[in-house]
Structure 1
Amino acid sequence: MRYELTDLTVFLAIADEGNVSKGAERCHLAPSSASLRIKNLEASVGVTLFKRHARGVVLTAAGQVMREHAKRCVAQLEQMHADLEPYSQGMTGHVTVFANNNAISTHLPDDLARFFMAYPSVRITLEERLSHDIVGAVVDGRAEIGVVALESEHPDLDFLPYRKDQLVLLTPNNHLLAKRDTISFASCLGQPFISLQSGAALHTFLMNHANALGGRLDVRVQVSGYRAIARLVASGAGIGIVPRTAIERSDRGRLAIVDLDEPWAIRDLRVCIPKHPSEKNVYRDKLVDILCRANARTASTVS
């Protein structure tokens, strides 16, 4: 198949405009040049991509398939250029970090800010994953550092203490559960919940625990962050479970915070790294050092 990236760009422009002339204009080409590129593209892939009519063109069924693939190809190339740009501007290193939602929403932003102050020319790719998936990614080399809330070990990884946190129940101040000092998770299951969106680590974690108890989480609203949970709970829309460190001071007066009487409510966040990394990355080591020093600062403050 012999066609160029420009041919795909022209094809997408014409498909978006529904008109050869307008699509050609977007690509700074003459209509005849654009038509020739489409003709050559159709010959190369062996299918007709457009149906011509008096007012312009429409995609054929094959053209619809081509459009979806072409959009992904062009988007991927744009991402490649975006990823390469920092190198042209003097980027000296890169670190890939996978972390659970708890760490990303609470502790990591401040710790990454300290890292960037020390190493401003380094870039970090940060992705949210479930803790079990993070361990697999670090073992496979898809992530250089993981931040997880797991007690289990892995023979190929070192686990270093990062932060301690606690999952707590949020209720409106006038809620029937608000006067409790502690509560079991099972006692919460009859209430409507405000939850993170499906796929978020905490959402999956709580759904699985509810299922293990033979119940289900009655999710009334799903939101994208802990602050939104707190605000909806304060409004009386339901109850929610969040890490204690995610509760902002401005929300504390409008909410009741009840300890969960569950062993899993205490969250020991840990940094996991390969015992024998395949490649040396000094900036990965520098970031791990900053994360572990954050744990030391927290421990000394508590003591």
Structure 2
Amino acid sequence: MRFDLVDLRLFIAVADAHSITGGADRAHLALASASARIKGLEDSFGVPLFKRGRRGVALTTAGESLLDHARIIMHNVETMQGEMVRFASGLRANVELLANTVGLAEHLPRALAAFLRDHPDISVDVEERESTDIAAAIAAGSADLGFAAEHALPDNVERFVFGEDRLTLVAGRRGPFAGRRQIDFVETAGQDFVGLTQATALQVHIGKHAARLGIRQHFRARLRDFDAICQMVAAGVGIAVVPEAAARRCARTMPISVMTLRDGWANRRLVICARSFKALPRPAKLLVDHLRKAAG
């Protein structure tokens, strides 16, 4: 079985373009060379990888399986190249971590700070994504490590629980929900809201469930910080949905009421996830070991 990274890169390009001609253009290869390489791949594996048609090509079942493996291989190669370039330049090893809004704002900073203090030769890049996007990236092999709500993960993604995330409703102490300790989200219909910016993963999650309940949220203000949101709520601007940890912290210094949301979607288990923890690069494994110890 003989093939190289050029073959795999071309195979991915053809699959994405649904065309050998389009794939050849993306891979910067002549059409004749690209066709010969694709045929060589199929001969090497002994199975057809594409179904040819007048309008282009489509992956066979074997092709779909190879595409999954090819993306993982190319991702690992790019990660390897990036790390070697950083070492050659005297820079540090790097770990890329995808995290949802709550993880990024409430759960990860302290644990990451301790890890970076203990490992001065490793840097961590954290990118905010919605949990469903994190799950897709991990499952497809385009990302190594994620911090997400467990309900969004497919069965083939490994995970361990880092903590619980309960979403709560916060309101002014003189507002319509004063004195309440629990509430159903549907009761908030018609109220003014203070929320996160629309691009924020958590706001997307809340918005989806509001839409399912037929609630059209009217936002008086959108911010990127839970403390700032709670300050707006304390000033009587509107009500808000925020993580319990942030709500309890802000309630110690602000005149706000914190109510438990009885809706099932408001209770989430937060997990660290990877396609395979054993297959992670060494810097990522060190971070995983640290987060396991910090979990809970």
Per the alignment, residue 290 of structure 2 pairs with 290
- After TM superposition, the structure 1 = structure 2 runs for residues 202-281 of structure 1, keeping only pairs within 5 Å, are 202-247=202-247, 249=249, 251-252=251-252, 253-275=254-276, 280-281=280-281
* TM-score using structure 1 length: 0.65
User: Deviation digits for residues 228-270 of structure 1, max 9, x if unmatched?
Assistant: 1111001110000100112364543411111111112112101
Measured in 2, the distance between the counterparts of 1:180 and 1:280 equals 47
Tell me the amino acid that sits aligned with residue 187 of structure 1.
E
Q: How far apart are 1:153 and its partner, in Å?
A: 4.0
The question of whether the paired residues in 1 share the 8 Å contact of 2:131 and 2:152 is answered with no
User: What is the SS of the residue equivalent to 1:107?
Assistant: helix
The question of whether the paired residues in 2 share the 8 Å contact of 1:178 and 1:257 is answered with no
Per the alignment, residue 98 of structure 1 pairs with 98
Measured in 1, the distance between the counterparts of 2:132 and 2:249 equals 32
User: What is the SS of the residue equivalent to 1:233?
Assistant: helix
Measured in 2, the distance between the counterparts of 1:158 and 1:122 equals 23
Cα–Cα, structure 1 residues 180 and 276, in superposed 2: closer, same or farther, change >3 Å?
closer
The question of whether the paired residues in 2 share the 8 Å contact of 1:168 and 1:257 is answered with yes
CA RMSD, aligned part only? 2.2
1:122 and 2:122 matched: yes
- After TM superposition, the structure 1 = structure 2 runs for residues 81-96 of structure 1, keeping only pairs within 5 Å, are 88-91=89-92, 93-96=93-96
Q: How far apart are 1:175 and its partner, in Å?
A: 0.9
- After TM superposition, the structure 1 = structure 2 runs for residues 1-303 of structure 1, keeping only pairs within 5 Å, are 88-91=89-92, 93-247=93-247, 249=249, 251-252=251-252, 253-275=254-276, 280-295=280-295, 298=296
Cα–Cα, structure 1 residues 171 and 86, in superposed 2: closer, same or farther, change >3 Å?
farther
Q: Which runs of 5+ in 2 are unaligned?
A: 1-81
Measured in 1, the distance between the counterparts of 2:159 and 2:115 equals 20
Measured in 1, the distance between the counterparts of 2:232 and 2:87 equals 40
Q: Which runs of 5+ in 1 are unaligned?
A: 1-80, 299-303
User: Deviation digits for residues 26-67 of structure 1, max 9, x if unmatched?
Assistant: xxxxxxxxxxxxxxxxxxxxxxxxxxxxxxxxxxxxxxxxxx
Q: How far apart are 1:275 and its partner, in Å?
A: 2.4
Q: How far apart are 1:94 and its partner, in Å?
A: 1.4
Measured in 2, the distance between the counterparts of 1:100 and 1:180 equals 29
User: Deviation digits for residues 109-145 of structure 1, max 9, x if unmatched?
Assistant: 0010111121111011110000010011112333211
Tell me the amino acid that sits aligned with residue 267 of structure 1.
R
The question of whether the paired residues in 1 share the 8 Å contact of 2:144 and 2:280 is answered with no
Bigger Rg, structure 1 or 2: 1
Percent identity over the alignment is 30
User: What is the SS of the residue equivalent to 2:150?
Assistant: coil
User: What is the SS of the residue equivalent to 2:214?
Assistant: coil
Tell me the amino acid that sits aligned with residue 259 of structure 1.
T
